[in-house]
Structure formats: structure tokens, C-alpha cells
Structure 1
Amino acid sequence: MHNNLIYLTDGRGKVDATKLSDIEWKQLVADNRDSTRRQLVKCAWCWDDDKVTHWMRTFCRNGGRVIAHQPNECADHPYQALESDEHKAYCDRVERVGESEGFESRREARASDGRTRSDVLLVGDLHLSYEMQHSPFKQGYGARERTRRSLAAKRDAVAWHTDSSIIATGASVAMLRSNQARLPQIENPRYELRILGGYRKVLAWKCTSREGHRCPLKRFAGCGSTHVDSQPTAITLDDFIRQAPAGLVVPVRPLERSGFWTTNRDYQIWVDHYGVGTRPSTDGTLRTWKEQQADGHSRHTAAKDHTPGPQQQAGGHRAVTDVPDELIDLQRSTREAQAKLAGLEGGAFDAQLKEWRTAAETFHEAVTAYAALERVSRSEVEQAAKNAARSLRQER
């Protein structure tokens, strides 16, 4: 059924017409009287996307339900699933975690093209578009095309997430898969949503019989070359959201089924070995991506032509070598406030949670101000402060 999402002005709000019972549908057709003048049925697609009110006609044709803008127009919009409570809870959680880390968040953020929206857009050092896929992809609105549109709309990365193994297997892009959770678990900030797929660590090894890795070229004693591969590793959804907008985790081959997310350090290992515009094949050779990125050559080659100064990094920022004690103390206070949440319940937990969020906001505001003043990378300042605070805690 096309045009399935509608707003009913009789108080029912946004509904999926395919979910109405036969009795409800017949009553709706009778009340609407196949006329837009009744102003009872409004197109949810047009309203959500463009804030334009289009009144709809409702009638039956060949035993099927039809909702149309104008006469002889029955397929104005493709089928679109109504947002479930679980989908909304996932987006609420991502927004809450992102804001607690000091990132700007926007729900249903629309790009300048008017066609590309994000379930949640998180803005840190990177513009991360979070997309929760809680139902199968509909024809014509696949993940690959939507990812291309988001990247073209100046989004640095698109993080697809699902709790369905069927959706993850059928996706044509890098997809994070977590364990299935019920609504109360998704809404519980203390419940860990574990990423089971789509997040990997990169391994590099010298191919000899001593290393214990199977040679990709099937040499029993090893071929003597250096190989790079990846294997699944663990992270929670909350930790992923805390790191991705800061550029600490990045996607590898985002527009391919075999794509995955990894740490910034592991991404550099992968690119150093395979190059930006190539990917490994099963026979150990290299082949070109269909979606070319950057210059299409390895970082070793790029270094020969573009050797940065010792204090320079991407974006013209100098390297962060030290941070003030004030930032370290603020980070320690944040972690101490977080640690106090353990074992609390009810009002005490809510009060401590508020204290933790306030401390986190204060820390991130100070990091942003310091990075702007010193003209250094904000993510590196944040990471340096966290590492220093962690080192002091271990020394004690």
C-alpha cells in the first residue's frame, strides 16, 4: 500500500493505514467521503518532510485500500514504516549519550538538499549521522543510496545500527549489530547494549610459521610478507556514540557489505597497508573500490609527496603534547561522579546522574574553549586529558 502514513485530525494523530482493522478502514472511508474537503486525512510524508499540508482522498479499488492526493494518483509516496517505540527509544538513548559527552545533537536533522534526514545527527569533530534500522529496508530506499546522500550532504560518517541479524546480513553497507533488547532495557541507561557485529580490530603480522596465523596465499610455512586482517572485537553502543563524533572510531569501506568500524589507530594500520582506494581480495591481491575515496594511494606513497612538519597534523592543527591541570581535574571529577552511580536507585540515582551530566558538560565546554584558544584538535585535547587523568588514577 502506498501513502500508508497519514495524520488523522480526529485525535488519533499519525497512524499506519495498513494497520487499521477492516471496520476502522470502512469507517474512515465513510467519514472522509472520498473528498479532500473533509480535512480528515493529511499526508504524513508531505508534512514530515516539507511541513506542507496535503489532504488525502480515501477509497477502495479492486478490494484494496487507496489513499491519494489527487484523482488518478494512487502511488504518490512509497510505503514507509511507522516509527516503533523501540526505534524511538534507541534514538532517545543515542541523543542522551551524545549530549552527555558534550556533542550537539539534532533529531530528524535534514540536510540542505531537503531529502536527506538523520534519525540523530551528532556534531563533534565529525558530523555523525546515526540511523537505526528496526525494520527491513523498503525497495528504492536502500542503505547504500541513503548513505551516499548523507555523505554528499556534508555528513562525515553514517552509523547504521540494527538489533536484527537478518537486517544486518542483508545490508549493503557497514552495519553495527547489537544484541536484541526489550523496550525497558533500551530505556535503562545502566543496561549495556553490546555491539556484536560491524565493529572490528585490525591485526598486522609477519607471515611466518611462528605467528600462528594462516597464510592468505596458503603457504604452509608462511610467505614472509606482512599481512593485515580484521577480527570482531567488543564495544558497547554507548561507548561507540561517545567516540565516533570525536573521530576516535571511523568506518572502513562504509559503502560495502564487508565494511566495518574500527579505532582511528587501527584504521591507519589498514590504510598504511592497503591504501585508501583499494581493498583486499581473497587471493591476497588488491582491487579498486567501486567508490573511490581520497587520492587512491597508500599513506606511504602520500608521505613522500606531502610530508607534514613535526608539529603539524591534518587540518592545520599542531599536535597536543600537554594539557592544563584544570582539564585533568575536571575529567577526574567527571569520572568520580560517574563511579558514584554504582549501586544507586530511584531518586538517589537520578540526582547523581544529573551531577555526572553537569560535570561532563563542564569538562567538554572547557575542552572546547582550550582547543579553540590554542588552535589544536579538540579530540586530541579531550583524549590527552582523559589519558592524563587515567595515569594519575593508576599511580595512586
Structure 2
Amino acid sequence: MHNNLIYLTDGRGKVDATEMSDTEWERLVEDNRDSTRRRLVKCAWCWDESYVTHWMKTYTRGGRVISHQPGESADHPYWELESDEHKAYCDRVERVGSDEGFSATREAVGGLTRSDVLLVGERSVSYEMQHSPFKAKYGPKERTRRALAAKRDAVAWHTDSEIIARGAKVAMLRSDVATLPQIENPRYELRILGGYRRVIVWTCTAREGHRCPERRFSGCSATHVDSEPTAITLDDFIRKAPASWALPVWPLDRQGFWTTPEGHQIWTDHFGDGANTGRAGARRPQKADGNGHSRRTAARNHESALAAVSLSSLAVAEAELMSLRHLAVTAHADLPGRIGEAYEAQWRAWRTAAENFQMAITAYAARNDVTTLRPEVERMVKSAMPYSDPTP
């Protein structure tokens, strides 16, 4: 069957007509009698490839026929609803995530949203691969909101189309176009070219070499925060995101991006926790108290008071971290010498203990009375109580 892929404007979205039941097909033919005026069936090939709308005629003549004009039968070849490349990307993400020890589920359903691959580690990350333009009224912003409402911690949009990345209206990772053998090859590096950035901080002087945001030739002497592109592979991103080593900045904003935990902390401290529009006004530093102080100034002014109030609670939290770390180290030490089901059971016990420790680290670093960044907290605890042998 030619022209099998169509968009139905009654809410069903992109449909493969070869998979419709006889009853559904007969009803579609009846509803689409005056195709130009009805505007029910649109050619998916023309729209996805060229952004051109063609309202299709539907009728039965020795089989199901969908055509641009009467008598046409070979406008476009048969096209699968999900391309082989799309499947290969999802297979790769599932494999990398599983090898890293995360829970990776294909086509996971949550609330009103469906994830291409759901990765669950310390964070629940919904991976979405986008090859074709988004459906009207069901674009990336709406799908991201639904995913977050379904208790996903983040949505990692990925595309190899510059057009889709430029018009997505959300934070989106972009990679080069890769062929099917390259995507399927685990040794081939799929490099992220956009959507993952490094946060930089500089004092605005002529020596720094950065352009002054205030357009002063010799600099304004203020401290500025900005971001610049940096390199990462898709596989490394998949290893980092569910473990909180890659975090999204303003995921509902097309000017949003993913960055390191340190960069995320610097950015949100300077600009605020979120923005939906990307306007410059939304990026001004937010006030922390009623005295006109910035968050950074307020934290500095109240640092001694916070330390005095929270000293005892910090000591308890730190003791809990060391206790959870001890459980993980002990479970890991019991792995050598075990085989078969005994090894699998002990490995699961170790992974559970390690995950509990990681969640506790995240909760501790998020406290208002803790000024140390999460990676530094983790480094200090692991240095105080390392594994007897290097972990995989």
C-alpha cells in the first residue's frame, strides 16, 4: 500500500493505515468523502519531509487507496511509522542504561505520557528520540509537562535534525545525523553537538576576553555567568543523567540546556530556578529576602547564623551518610567468591545499598544549611570510606 502514513486531525495523530481494522477504514472513508473541505487526512510524508500540507483522498478500489488526487496510487512508498534509526537509538539507550545498572524500560507509560525509554537510577529520566516534526497541540512542551506530572524527574529530548532542534521550544540535545550501522555499533561515538553546555563565571575586565553584557569596552568589573558549548557523547550522557551527573536548566525553555551539577548550581544561584519564556527579564537574579539582597549576598550574611542553628542536625545527617556508605562497602566486600544465584543476589544487595547512599547524598546536598556541592560531599564521604577494590 502506498501513502500509508497519514496524520488524522481528529486527535489520533500519526497513523499507519495498513494497521487500521476494516471497520475503522470504512468509517474513515465515509468521514473523508469531501477530503478538501473535511481536512481530516493529511499526508505524513509531505508534512514530515517538506512541511507541506496535502489533504488526502481515501477510497477502496481493489484494496485501500490513499492519494493526493483521484487515480494516483504511487505517490510515496510504504513507510514504517517508527523508523529503523529511531528503534536503533532507543535500543542503544536501553543497552547503555542497563549496562550501567539503571532500570531501562521501553515504551514506559506514566499518566498520560509514554516514554521511548524510561531510565531509572537516582533520578527518573524519560528519553525521547524525535525524528519528525511534533504534532500540533501535542508538542514537546506539553509532553514534557505531562512527563513531569507523571513523576519523571527530567525529560531528555534528542534529535539529529537541526530544524527540529531549532524549533522545539524545549531544552533539546542535538547530534549529527548517523546511519543505521553507526547507531547500532557500540564503538561508534554519537557526539552531542547542542543542548549540553558548560557554565562559566568571569569577572568582567578587558583581560578576560569575554564580551561585556553591558557593552562596555574595558569591562564593567562585575561578575557574570554564561554558558558555552562543550562536548559529550550520547552514551556518556545516558550514564550521567539518571545518576544526577547531568541536570537540565530550564527544561521548558528552548534556550534551556543540560549541564554538570556544579554548573547547574551556579546557574540557578545566579539566575533563579526556572523560566518558561527565555526572556531576558526572566533571567535576572532573584531576590532571597525583603532587604534587596541577592541569594548569594543573603547566604553570605546569614552564614554564621545558619551554622549555629544547624550544627547538630548536620552532624546527625553526616553520621547517616557514613552509615549508608558502610552498608554499601560491606555489601561490595561480600561479592568476591560468590557465583551463580548467590552472586546475583549479593550484587542486587550491593546496588540497593549504593542507590540508598546516592539518594541520601542528594538529599543532604539539597539542604539549605549545606553549602558544599553534591559532588564534593560524595567525594569526601567516599574518600573517608573507600571500597576495598575498585568498583566496575
TM-score (norm 2): 0.64
| Partners of 2:92 and 2:381 in 1: CA distance | 23
**1:280/1:83 Cα in 2 relative to 1: closer, same or farther (>3 Å)?**
closer
Equivalent of 2:194, from 194, 197, 201?
A: 197
| Partners of 2:275 and 2:85 in 1: CA distance | 38
Alignment of 1:112-151 (within 5 A): 113=111, 115-151=112-148
> 2:332·2:387 contact (CA, 8 Å) conserved in 1?
no
Equivalent of 1:179, from 176, 186, 191?
A: 176
Deviates more, 1:370-379 or 1:255-264: 370-379
**1:116/1:217 Cα in 2 relative to 1: closer, same or farther (>3 Å)?**
same
**1:182/1:391 Cα in 2 relative to 1: closer, same or farther (>3 Å)?**
farther
Match of 1:100 in 2: 99
| Partners of 2:210 and 2:387 in 1: CA distance | 34
| Partners of 1:216 and 1:116 in 2: CA distance | 40
Please state if 1:287 is matched with 2:309: no
Q: Give the secondary structure class of the aligned counterpart of 1:255.
A: coil
**1:327/1:234 Cα in 2 relative to 1: closer, same or farther (>3 Å)?**
farther
| Partners of 2:255 and 2:205 in 1: CA distance | 27
Aligned length: 309
Q: Compute the displacement of 1:213 (Å).
A: 1.2
Q: Compute the displacement of 1:198 (Å).
A: 0.2
> 1:100·1:361 contact (CA, 8 Å) conserved in 2?
no
| Partners of 2:118 and 2:359 in 1: CA distance | 25
Please state if 1:221 is matched with 2:218: yes
Deviations 1:234-291 (A, max 9, x none): 1111111111011111101111111100001110111121222469989xx74369xx
Q: Compute the displacement of 1:140 (Å).
A: 1.8
Paired AA for residue 261 in structure 2: N
Match of 2:296 in 1: 300
Paired AA for residue 287 in structure 1: A
Q: Give the secondary structure class of the aligned counterpart of 1:122.
A: strand
Paired AA for residue 269 in structure 2: D
Q: Compute the displacement of 1:41 (Å).
A: 3.5
Match of 2:232 in 1: 235
| Partners of 2:114 and 2:171 in 1: CA distance | 18
TM-score (norm 1): 0.63
> 2:165·2:172 contact (CA, 8 Å) conserved in 1?
yes
Match of 1:59 in 2: 29
Q: Give the secondary structure class of the aligned counterpart of 1:254.
A: coil
> 1:202·1:230 contact (CA, 8 Å) conserved in 2?
yes
Q: Give the secondary structure class of the aligned counterpart of 1:251.
A: strand
Match of 1:261 in 2: 258
Paired AA for residue 65 in structure 1: T
**1:66/1:234 Cα in 2 relative to 1: closer, same or farther (>3 Å)?**
farther
Deviates more, 1:260-269 or 1:375-384: 375-384
Deviations 1:44-88 (A, max 9, x none): xxxxxxxxxx85425373570279xxxxxxxxxxxx981111111
Q: Give the secondary structure class of the aligned counterpart of 1:376.
A: helix
Q: Compute the displacement of 1:215 (Å).
A: 0.8
Paired AA for residue 58 in structure 2: R
Q: Give the secondary structure class of the aligned counterpart of 2:181.
A: helix
> 1:279·1:288 contact (CA, 8 Å) conserved in 2?
no
Deviates more, 1:92-101 or 1:384-393: 384-393
**1:99/1:279 Cα in 2 relative to 1: closer, same or farther (>3 Å)?**
same
**1:239/1:216 Cα in 2 relative to 1: closer, same or farther (>3 Å)?**
same
Q: Compute the displacement of 1:94 (Å).
A: 0.8
Q: Compute the displacement of 1:3 (Å).
A: 4.7
Q: Please, which runs of 5 or more residues in structure 1 have no aligned partner?
A: 5-13, 21-39, 44-53, 68-79, 334-358
> 1:102·1:365 contact (CA, 8 Å) conserved in 2?
no
Note the aligned Cα RMSD (angstroms).
4.8
> 1:132·1:162 contact (CA, 8 Å) conserved in 2?
yes
Equivalent of 1:368, from 348, 352, 357?
A: 352
Alignment of 1:351-366 (within 5 A): 366=350
> 2:159·2:175 contact (CA, 8 Å) conserved in 1?
yes
Percentage of identical aligned residues:
52
Q: Please, which runs of 5 or more residues in structure 2 have no aligned partner?
A: 1-5, 36-55, 61-78, 336-342, 364-373
> 1:271·1:299 contact (CA, 8 Å) conserved in 2?
no
**1:104/1:217 Cα in 2 relative to 1: closer, same or farther (>3 Å)?**
same
> 2:121·2:355 contact (CA, 8 Å) conserved in 1?
no
Match of 1:42 in 2: 21
Match of 2:43 in 1: none
Match of 1:51 in 2: none
Paired AA for residue 109 in structure 1: A
Q: Compute the displacement of 1:326 (Å).
A: 8.0
**1:151/1:370 Cα in 2 relative to 1: closer, same or farther (>3 Å)?**
closer
Paired AA for residue 29 in structure 2: F
> 2:171·2:254 contact (CA, 8 Å) conserved in 1?
yes
Match of 1:16 in 2: 16
**1:318/1:194 Cα in 2 relative to 1: closer, same or farther (>3 Å)?**
farther
> 2:113·2:146 contact (CA, 8 Å) conserved in 1?
yes
Deviations 1:317-372 (A, max 9, x none): 868579569859979x9xxxxxxxxxxxxxxxxxxxxxxxxx99977752432554
